[in-house]
A and B are shown apart, each in its own frame.
Chain A
Amino acid sequence: DVKVTQSSRYLVKRTGEKVFLECVQDMDHENMFWYRQDPGLGLRLIYFSYDVKMKEKGDIPEGYSVSREKKERFSLILESASTNQTSMYLCASPRPGDSSYNEQFFGPGTRLTVL
Chain B
Amino acid sequence: AQTVTQSQPEMSVQEAETVTLSCTYDTSESDYYLFWYKQPPSRQMILVIRQEAYKQQNATENRFSVNFQKAAKSFSLKISDSQLGDAAMYFCALMDSSYKLIFGSGTRLLVRP
Contact = CB atoms under 8 A, between A and B. Distances in A.
Interface in A96-115: 100-104, 106, 108-109
Interface in B65-112: 91, 93, 95, 99-106
Dominant SS among interface residues on chain A: strand
B101 A104 contact: yes
Contacts, number: 52
Contacts of B91: 42-43
Nearest to A41: B105
B45 A106 contact: yes
A18 B50 CA distance: 38
Contact of A33 (B43, B100, B106): B100
Given A101-B33, A102-B99, A42 B45 contact: no
A43 B100 contact: no
